[in-house]
Amino acid sequence: MRLVGTLEENSGGAASCLEASAAPSEQSFDRHVLGRIFLHSAAEAARLGDTIADRLGVDPDEFAALARYLCVDSFVESAGKRELAPEDEELMVRTLLMQNRSADGSVGQWLASIVARRALESNHLWEDLGLATRGDLSKLLLRHFPGLAEKNTRNMRWKKFLYRALCEAEGFSMCPSPTCDSCAEFHICFGDESGPSALARTARNGGAC
C-alpha cells in the first residue's frame, strides 16, 4: 500500500525525533512519545485502510502542525481528513483533558485530542497509543494534565480513571459500590496494566504493526 511506502520513506524524521529523546529534557520526552504515537497510528491506518487523522483523532490543521513538529511533513499529503465525526465520549474526554492542561500550546492540545481518540480502542490506553510502557503514559499525563492525573492517587488504570473522572464531572456515577475497596469490579479498575507493548507482542508474533 502506498501509505506503507510513505511511512517507510519518511519515518527517518520521526526516527530522528525518537533519537533526540536520548537527551533527557522534557521537550525531548514530548517528541519521543508523540513520535511513537504518530508511527503507531500511521501503521494502524495503513493496516485498516483508514486515515491517519482518524486514528489520531486530530483535524487537518492539527495534523499538519504535528507532522511538522515531528519532522515528517511529507505525511501531510497522505494523511487524509477525519472521515468519521468524533463520538460524544471522545469529545467529552477531550474537553476534560483540555480543562486540565498544564499550559497553553500545541502539544497539550494534540495530546488531549489523541488521548481522547485512542481511549476508544480496546487495549490498555498506553498500548493503543503505541507507547513502550505504562510509565510513559503516566509521565505524559502528569506532565500535561497534572490537575487531573495527580488525582489518580491509587494508580487506577488510566482509561478507567479518565472515564470515572468524566462521570464525576457530570455529577453522576456508574460505580456499583460507594467505595472501591468493597467493589466487585476492583480488579477491572485497578488490575495490572503493565506487560509487553502491543508493538513488542506483534513483533514477537512475526506480524505487521
Say whether residue 164 binds ligand SF4 (CB under 6 A).
yes
The nearer residue to ligand SF4, 49 or 176, going by C-beta atoms, is 176
Binding part of the chain for ligand SF4, among 30-38, 95-103, 184-192, 197-205 by CB under 6 A, reads 184-192
Report the Cα–Cα distance between both ends of the chain, in Å, rounded: 14
Shortest spacing between CB 176 and ligand SF4, in angstroms: 6
Of 170, 185, 192, 200, the one binding ligand SF4 by CB under 6 A: 185
Binding part of the chain for ligand SF4, among 20-28, 42-50, 181-189, 192-200 by CB under 6 A, reads 181-189
Say what angle helices 106-118 and 88-99 make with each other, to 10 degrees: 150
Q: Which residue has the cell 488504570?
A: 157
User: DSSP characters for 42-57?
Assistant: HHHHHHHT--HHHHHT
Identity of the amino acid at 11: S
C-alpha torsion 159→193→53→91, nearest 10? 0
* Cell numbers for 69: 513538529
In whole angstroms, give the CA distance from residue 160 to residue 158: 5
The nearer residue to ligand SF4, 59 or 170, going by C-beta atoms, is 170
Say whether residue 175 binds ligand SF4 (CB under 6 A).
yes
Binding part of the chain for ligand SF4, among 69-77, 79-87, 140-148, 171-179 by CB under 6 A, reads 171-179
Say whether residue 167 binds ligand SF4 (CB under 6 A).
no
- The backbone region for 134, taken as left when phi is positive above 0, alpha when psi lies in -120 to 50, beta otherwise, is alpha
Say whether residue 166 binds ligand SF4 (CB under 6 A).
no
Shortest spacing between CB 173 and ligand SF4, in angstroms: 7
The nearer residue to ligand SF4, 103 or 172, going by C-beta atoms, is 172
Of 73, 177, 200, 203, the one binding ligand SF4 by CB under 6 A: 177
User: Which residues, numbered 129-158, are part of the site for ligand SF4 (CB under 6 A)?
Assistant: none
Q: Which residue has the cell 494508580?
A: 155
Cβ-proximal residues to 87 (8 Å cutoff; 6+ apart), any chain: 120
Site for ligand SF4, rule CB under 6 A: 164, 175-177, 180, 183, 185-186, 189
